[in-house]
Structure 1
Amino acid sequence: MATVILVRHGRTTANAAGQLAGRAAGVSLDQTGRDQAALTGDRLAAVPVVGVVSSPLERCRQTAQFILDRQAGAPDAPIDPDLTECDYGEWQGRAISDLETEDLWPVVQSQPSAVVFPGGESLAAMQARSVAAIRRHDAAFEAEHGPGAVWVAVSHGDVIKSILADALGMHLDLFQRINVGPGSVSIVSYGISRPSVYATNTDAGDLSWLSKGIRSAGAPVGGGAGKQAP
């Protein structure tokens, strides 16, 4: 089965200022974010990825370029609007500290499946479109490059959290239990019977074991022997 590496963009100027950027234009990586993206690119340099699919927003395209710059060859590099940030509507651009006083805030924390942002998107709709996009690209890369294909999706915190929740078989109402930091790497392999999650929210460590992809007939009873060296 193909393997997707989920990468959150590096830290942005809005992140550093405590603002909810949403889909606002002109939000780019700050120096810390560029360093995080460069480190992620270095970690992935040992993995010959067949494609790097990115959200159309600038911070993700910048992060994707750091990854592409460290890849040999010329992997596919499409932009997919279905991997874009949640449409936070009237919340976009506001300070997180102000949003914490809104009546909707506790619902976002405890029952996200019921949340529709005022003038924006529901978290359930965000999850539906992003999971569908990941599965669509995963099937296409596997069909073109074979079951050992490894590809990268560069997206946003809530989007990646919702994708991981789906892969873990968790209800969306539990997705706030998952953390996805700037520049982090999470790894999912979609099998015939179910997805397997190999990593979440990592910002360090060797990834060369992914160089030949993940091949598994199922979950090993007893836990198995672990990652195999390339």
Structure 2
Amino acid sequence: MSTVILLRHGKSTANGSGVLAGRTPKVNLDETGQKQAEALVERLSPVPLAELVISPLLRCRQTVGPLAKARGLGRTTEPRLSEVDYGDWTGRELKTLFKEPLWRVVQAHASAAVFPGGEGLAAMQARAVAAVRAHDARISAEHGENAVWLLCSHGDVIKSILADALGQHLDAFQRIVVDPSSISVVRYTETRPFVLRVNDHSGDLAGIVPPKPPAKPKRGKAKAGADAGDAVVGGSTGR
């Protein structure tokens, strides 16, 4: 299977506003977010990208815009990667939401949290994980198992995907930090996912590109060894 870069959209006009924007339309990148989007072009220059798959919300489209233009890549819009539907909480001030009994459930027992008039976090994780695995399988089939592709989505959505990749219960997903414009990386295999980066802001990304596979042995001379989905006992030796 292939490798996916999980990119959270750049800083938006809603980030830091004290209001839960959710799926509110026309939430743009702010000046910082625009600079973050432009910086992605250089930052991802060592990484060949097969495809861009994004949430339909404007701030995600804006985040990958400069990169798509520089690479000449189209963008596949995936509704299952959209922001959490916070329902009646959308547009409300966080300082008032802190006082809601549901707030503590979201923090400590996320799998049981269902937003009034919206969706549950468990349902969000199910749709997001289904989407990333479906696109990963499709891209692997079309571009090969060494393909690298980029997914641009939202904080809680990416945290839920990472929790699944880590084999971590959704109730603990609040332990994962995913900042605006940060990059996390997961490599999927037939056996298990491998988490290569989490909340990375400035690391060299050349190392996430899978090495070329070794030449296949001649018929009748199959070589025994570890499968691609096996972890290295004792730890990786690096690149």
Regarding TM over 0.5, the answer is: yes
Correspondence for 2:216: none
**Offset at 1:187?**
0.3
The 2-side partners of 1:140 and 1:104 are apart by: 38
Correspondence for 1:223: 235
The 2-side partners of 1:159 and 1:213 are apart by: 29
- 2:63 maps to a residue whose letter is T
Secondary structure at the residue paired with 2:15?
helix
The 2-side partners of 1:214 and 1:49 are apart by: 15
CA contact (8 A) 1:90 1:119 kept: yes
The 1-side partners of 2:174 and 2:148 are apart by: 27
The alignment covers a number of residue pairs equal to: 225
- The alignment's TM-score, normalised by the length of structure 1, stands at 0.93
Correspondence for 1:12: 12
The 2-side partners of 1:67 and 1:92 are apart by: 30
Correspondence for 1:47: 47
The 2-side partners of 1:214 and 1:91 are apart by: 48
- 2:116 maps to a residue whose letter is P
Q: Please say which of residues 52-61 and 200-209 is displaced more in the overlay.
A: 200-209
Correspondence for 2:173: 175
**Offset at 1:212?**
4.5
Q: Are positions 1:109 and 2:121 aligned together? A: no
The 1-side partners of 2:197 and 2:139 are apart by: 20
Q: Could you say if the C-alpha distance between residues 127 and 33 of structure 1 is closer, same or farther in structure 2, counting changes exceeding 3 Å?
A: same
CA contact (8 A) 1:40 1:184 kept: no
**Deviation digits for residues 150-204 of structure 1 (CA, Å, limit 9, x no counterpart):** 0000000000000000000001000000000000000001111111000000011
1:88-103 matches, within 5 Å, as 88-103=86-101
Unaligned segments of structure 1, at least 5 residues:
none
Correspondence for 1:157: 155
Computed over aligned residues only, the root mean square deviation of the Cα atoms, in angstroms, reads: 1.4
CA contact (8 A) 1:57 1:84 kept: yes
Structure showing greater radius of gyration is 2
Q: Could you say if the C-alpha distance between residues 217 and 127 of structure 1 is closer, same or farther in structure 2, counting changes exceeding 3 Å?
A: closer
- The alignment's TM-score, normalised by the length of structure 2, stands at 0.90
CA contact (8 A) 2:186 2:195 kept: yes
**Offset at 1:214?**
8.2
1:180-191 matches, within 5 Å, as 180-191=178-189
Identical columns (%): 54
The 2-side partners of 1:174 and 1:15 are apart by: 23
Q: Could you say if the C-alpha distance between residues 105 and 136 of structure 1 is closer, same or farther in structure 2, counting changes exceeding 3 Å?
A: same
The 1-side partners of 2:201 and 2:23 are apart by: 25
The 2-side partners of 1:190 and 1:174 are apart by: 21
The 1-side partners of 2:97 and 2:132 are apart by: 30
